[in-house]
Amino acid sequence: MTIRDIKEKIARRKLAKIISNIERSPVFPNINTVKTIGVIWQPTQKEAFQYLKSYFNREQVIFRGFCVFEEITNPHQDANTLTVKDLDFWGLPKKEKVDEFTSIRFEVLFNIAMEDNLVLDYITALSQARFKIGSSENVNNYFDLNINIGENQDSMYLAKQQIFYLAQLNKK
């Protein structure tokens, strides 16, 4: 086991302890009338992010994205980006970098990232969104609706599937 593995194991325990104190009951959204949307994405998913943004581009909808950069890069720093420099010793996001985004009570939080990682799990888990949707092969994930996309590891496909399933469930 490497130092990195040990640090991640400790960080995951810290995350589990933080979320053990959080009580929440998911509220299923009506995809046609939602007013607040949050999206967690990575730079490689820009096309899918833009797709969701244009899909929900209607009056009165608040749409916020939060981009998580994996490598050491120098993107334009703003409240809606997270880089490696914004992580603490354990690899968890620094509180001040994610607090604003996670405290917004989005009606729906879309996670269109194609991989499971500690940073994405942290933001998803701590989000106060009423309903969280994404794709994870892990049984222990932080989604209220986990979409199995199988071999089709494509963020655009995932974004379209998320909307499709929300719309289908609204019909029931």
For residue 43, the one-letter residue type is P
For residue 155, the one-letter residue type is S
When comparing pLDDT for 1 and 110, which is higher?
110
Q: What is the pLDDT of residues 129-163, one digit of tens each?
A: 999 999 998 878 899 999 988 888 899 999 999 99
Residue 36 has pLDDT above 90, yes or no: yes
What is the number of structural domains in the chain? 1
Helix, strand, coil abundance in the chain, percent, nearest 5: 40, 15, 45
Q: What is the CATH number of the domain that holds 86?
A: 3.40.50
For the entire predicted model, the pTM comes to 0.91
Q: Which domain holds residue 80?
A: 3-171
Phi, psi dihedral angles at 167 (to 5 degrees):
-65, -40
